[in-house]
Amino acid sequence: MPLEIRDGGLDDPQVIAMLKFHYDTSVAVTPLCSAHVFDLTRLKAGDMSFWSAWDGTTLRGTGALKRMDAEQGEVKSMHTLQAARRSGVGRAMLTHIMARARAMGLKRLNLETGSFEFFAPARALYARHGFVECPPFSGYKPDPHSTFMTREI
């Protein structure tokens, strides 16, 4: 069955559990002052768009887009179920987010991810999709534990 990316899902128990795991893991491996992961409440805010990726009835991944202004957005809450990693879920979600951002009229996407080995697969995924390192943006401060990336879309 092909992967289906659905709008929303923030009330689904599988989505809630995955986002809790994503949040808890990110906070556990990142120094507290450097953890920029959003919790469920923040993902429900009006400046957010959220998607969930499904294989039938099984949740495979999540992704979100925070609208920063009329031309820029920030990729947030990208997470793939461990058993589904390296199967194209992250690629599909990132491609979906970029397409939806373009449809919203955005011209640039930014993101922040960890700078250490735990986040190396995420940085590689973003780089394969044209993201390049950049200075901190939108209120972020320089941080040795963060990598900031951007790309025009």
**Tens digit of pLDDT for each residue in 48-97?**
999 999 999 999 999 999 999 999 999 999 999 767 777 779 999 999 99
For 123, half-sphere exposure in the C-beta direction (CA atoms, 13 angstrom radius) is: 17
Domain that holds residue 77: 4-152
Give CA 149 to chain center in angstroms. 12
CATH number where 106 lies: 3.40.630.30
At residue 1, the pLDDT reads 59
Q: What is residue 104's DSSP assignment?
A: T
> How many structural domains is the chain composed of?
1
Kindly report the pTM of this predicted structure.
Answer: 0.93
Rounded to whole angstroms, what are the CA distances from 15 to 6, 71, 101?
A: 11, 29, 22
> By percentage, how much of the chain surpasses pLDDT 70?
99
